[in-house]
Chain A
Amino acid sequence: MAQIPMGTVPKKETEKLKVIKKPNKGVFQQMKKNYSAYLFLLPKLILFTLFIAIPVVWAFVLSFQDHKVFGSEFAGLDNYIKVFESEAFRIALKNTLLFTVVTVPFSVISALVISSMIFALGKFSQSLFRSAFYLPTVTSMVIIAMVWRWMYNYEFGLFNYVLGWFGIEQINWLGQSGSALWALIIMQCLIPFGVGIIMYLASMGSISQSLYEAARIDGASTFKQWLHITIPLLKPTTLYLVLLSTIGSFQVFTQIIMMTGGGPGSATETLVHLIYKTGFRDFEFGLAAAQSVVLFVIILIFSIIQFRVLRHDE
């Protein structure tokens, strides 16, 4: 009897695998077979279709229309031409990009550092810090913005009060073009990235201790273990968090409307705030939809780039 070399699979087995990989049943037959699973998914699917899929498709359709309350007209690419010709859009894009480029790396790196520090603690302390850092995530941005607005207040805000101790002149944080956007960026950076911390902690827990033991035997310091084991193995989590916070940063809105209204001048105008104004102040829904589609494409491009750079290679 001929011996089968190791690592190869008998022909019959390969055929079986092929059958599993490429089922000859149609999609509907598969669905019929697993109908109970689809039944469980159905409520969410209906909600997703109603509140996400249809509005997204409708926004795309709307972007080619000159929207009127009664009887919209087809406008071709007019809205898109307006978007690219608009100086307000360019300013908003520039501000949003600056906001994203600074806040995303800061949030993700700070989440990584904070969770690494928490992970080394005991169970009780870990839970305590985990809740403390997650708290801002469940707090409404409206409330956070109001508190920060007070902290930035020129006359009786916390920051100017502290500056006063050192004899430094008060700063009109939100009132000057030079400082307003940076004030919002600082605020975003200092709000703990709760989701990031929780996810990093969960991922750290799943890294095999044997890797660290092996490294310790090889004489690697704690920092080197963190650098060469923890960080590389957290790469999929990092990728997810970078994507998540990039999308969030591109959609910055609440703090703008609550704290500066896009001003002074256009210093803190961002894309979503501009889309909001175009839609609900100027009632130009077609143009607002086109701006949204352009924002979607920008986020998509950024996501693809990040995905390619940070992809976890098996």
Chain B
Amino acid sequence: MKKVFKKSALALATLGLAASVLAACNGDSEEVGNAEEFKGKITIWDGPRWPDKDDNKFHWLEAKIKEYEEANEGVEVDLVQVPWAEMGDKLGVAIAGKSWPDIAPVDISGSAVSIDHIEQGVVEPLDSFLDKDEKADFYENALEAYTYDDKLYGIPNSITLHSMLLNLDLFEEAGVTPPENGKWTYDEFLEAAKKLTFDRDGDGKTDVYGFSTYIMPGYYEAWPFFYKNGGSPLNEDMTEFTFDSPETIQAIQDLADLKLTEKVAPETHGGADVGGTFQAWANEEQRTVAMQPWATWAIGAAQGAYPTNFAVAEYPTGENESSSTIGGVGGWIMFHQEETNKKAAVADFMKFISTAEEQYNMAQNYGIFPARISASEMDPFKDNPEMTRAMEMSDQVVMLPRHPEWKKIDEAIQAQLQLVFNGEKTAEAAMADAKKAVDELLK
């Protein structure tokens, strides 16, 4: 009964807003439906999360679906299990064929769904279903990541960021002290990288390298290094390419030179082998690289599947004197709906799996930071100093530019960066070429 009242109250509250908030693209006013009246099927796609005792990585959502179906008679929620690696491609094909699910876990600045799709009405705005008080429980940057043109296009459920992971066993073997509180300058980092590059068995070949990362479209582990002197890829109003500024060029060249001149990074540094790079840091059989930057999932992996004695550090600072990192926000989006009652029911289910309790649960088990303030206040990482350390870096997060052509801009930049790391071009020449390509896209 309480639930029915709550839903009705929500419907009434949002009804008044409906006409003005969702006077959608074509000027049509939109009704806010009633979730109670919907009977039928809701389809949700999700990727594998943490395993239960039977190694079922979908158990969390399966349990939530069962709970929801029992409380809402006549509603069937169909879970489609999609490997994370295939999520983007499958969604792309589904969008092309207009056969999308009702809900999917998508970062709208990511690769699967673009700003273009939002402009074309493929993603439903959710402002009618989350009132001001509900929104107030989310971190501002989390909401911002799902906001476009002053409308909310998703319910954030997690925040991730990149941090430096240091293999403490290798630090000890090389007699290097890790940075105090995880803070260090680029010179200190370089000094450590030099000492961490050594020939273990005396055969004249380097066995352990100080640092390594990779360069690939859509991946940004290396990028905070490019911000160390205060650079950014585009100017504030996103009309100009600015990664060719002297401070950025220097920062790019510095990172490439770790391999090219300093010889403290392996030949694969700056290549496109994501899995190989991680294995070189985390796989017990290898452990050939002492320091690598990774998103927070790697902390979970280093505490679970790849047990490693490690510490979390910040990206080293340059002229900017403050450290930067790149972050991402995960969440659920609702795809275009024809029926208003179904839309309300879909929103209701999205909220059902995005409560503070669920985000706390996910943070503890899945290695991500909650997007809700109340979930963070439950202190999910009180027994996890590494995650706490990474979480402290959230105020250093720099978001990527939200340009509709970002995927192409990103590819133009990353393709040139690969050539710099290969030693085929200087950072200056590469960014001059990137500018030509990016300026075309910014027109």
Contacts from A to B (Cβ < 8 Å): 68-70, 87, 153-155, 170, 172, 174-177, 260-261, 263-266, 279-283, 285
Which residues of B sit under 8 angstroms from A154, Cβ to Cβ?
266-268, 271
Subset of 18 A-B contacts with CB under 8 Å = A69-B121, A70-B120, A70-B122, A154-B267, A155-B280, A155-B288, A174-B271, A175-B267, A175-B272, A260-B272, A261-B217, A263-B216, A264-B419, A265-B418, A265-B419, A283-B92, A283-B114, A283-B116
Q: Which of A69, A263, A281 contacts B415 (CB 8 A)?
A: A263
Q: Which of B98, B121, B267, B407 contacts A281 (CB 8 A)?
A: B407
Query: A-B pairs with CB below 8 Å: how many?
Result: 76
Which residues of A sit under 8 angstroms from B66, Cβ to Cβ?
none
B276 beta carbon closer than 8 Å to chain A: yes
B268 touching A172, Cβ below 8 Å: yes
Q: Is the interface of A mostly helix, strand, loop or mixed?
A: loop
Interface residues of B in 84-135 (CB under 8 A from A): 89, 92-93, 95-96, 98, 111, 114, 116-117, 120-122
A282 touching B408, Cβ below 8 Å: yes
Which residues of B sit under 8 angstroms from A266, Cβ to Cβ?
415
B245 beta carbon closer than 8 Å to chain A: no
Q: Which of B114, B217, B407, B422 contacts A176 (CB 8 A)?
A: B422
Closest to A171 in B: B267
B319 beta carbon closer than 8 Å to chain A: no
Tell me the smallest distance from the CB of A274 to a CB of chain B, in Å. Answer: 11
Tell me the smallest distance from the CB of A276 to a CB of chain B, in Å. Answer: 9
Which residues of B sit under 8 angstroms from A264, Cβ to Cβ?
271-272, 415, 418-419, 422, 424
Q: Please report the C-alpha to C-alpha distance between residue A170 and residue B111 in the assembled complex, in whole angstroms.
A: 35
Q: Please report the C-alpha to C-alpha distance between residue A263 and residue B270 in the assembled complex, in whole angstroms.
A: 12
B248 beta carbon closer than 8 Å to chain A: no
If A170-B267, A176-B422, A285-B96 touch, whether A68 touches B120 (CB-CB below 8 Å) is: yes
Which residues of B sit under 8 angstroms from A282, Cβ to Cβ?
407-408
- Given known contacts A175-B272, A282-B407, what 14 new A-B pairs fall within 8 Å (CB)? A68-B120, A69-B121, A70-B120, A154-B266, A154-B271, A155-B266, A260-B272, A264-B415, A265-B415, A265-B418, A280-B92, A282-B408, A283-B95, A283-B96
Closest to B266 in A: A155
Closest to A175 in B: B271
7 shortest interchain CB distances as A-B pairs: A280-B92, A264-B418, A175-B271, A265-B419, A69-B120, A265-B415, A69-B122
Which residues of A sit under 8 angstroms from B96, Cβ to Cβ?
279-280, 283, 285
A280 touching B93, Cβ below 8 Å: yes
Tell me the smallest distance from the CB of B257 to a CB of chain A, in Å. Answer: 17
Tell me the smallest distance from the CB of B204 to a CB of chain A, in Å. Answer: 12
Which residues of B sit under 8 angstroms from A177, Cβ to Cβ?
419, 422, 424
Which residues of B sit under 8 angstroms from A70, Cβ to Cβ?
120-122
B268 touching A155, Cβ below 8 Å: yes
Interface residues of B in 270-312 (CB under 8 A from A): 271-272, 276, 280, 288
Tell me the smallest distance from the CB of B369 to a CB of chain A, in Å. Answer: 28
Which residues of A sit under 8 angstroms from B111, Cβ to Cβ?
281
Closest to A170 in B: B267
Tell me the smallest distance from the CB of B290 to a CB of chain A, in Å. Answer: 16
A261 touching B216, Cβ below 8 Å: yes
Q: Please report the C-alpha to C-alpha distance between residue A283 and residue B276 in the assembled complex, in whole angstroms.
A: 30
Which residues of A sit under 8 angstroms from B89, Cβ to Cβ?
280
Tell me the smallest distance from the CB of B419 to a CB of chain A, in Å. Answer: 5
A69 touching B95, Cβ below 8 Å: yes
B416 beta carbon closer than 8 Å to chain A: yes
Which residues of A sit under 8 angstroms from B288, Cβ to Cβ?
155
Which residues of A sit under 8 angstroms from B276, Cβ to Cβ?
153
Tell me the smallest distance from the CB of A90 to a CB of chain B, in Å. Answer: 13
Which residues of A sit under 8 angstroms from B122, Cβ to Cβ?
69-70
Q: Please report the C-alpha to C-alpha distance between residue A176 and residue B421 in the assembled complex, in whole angstroms.
A: 10
B272 touching A261, Cβ below 8 Å: yes
Tell me the smallest distance from the CB of B442 to a CB of chain A, in Å. Answer: 15
Closest to B122 in A: A69
Q: Please report the C-alpha to C-alpha distance between residue A69 and residue B415 in the assembled complex, in whole angstroms.
A: 29
B266 touching A69, Cβ below 8 Å: no
Q: Please report the C-alpha to C-alpha distance between residue A177 and residue B419 in the assembled complex, in whole angstroms.
A: 8
Which residues of B sit under 8 angstroms from A283, Cβ to Cβ?
92, 95-96, 114, 116-117
Interface residues of B in 407-443 (CB under 8 A from A): 407-408, 415-416, 418-419, 422, 424, 437
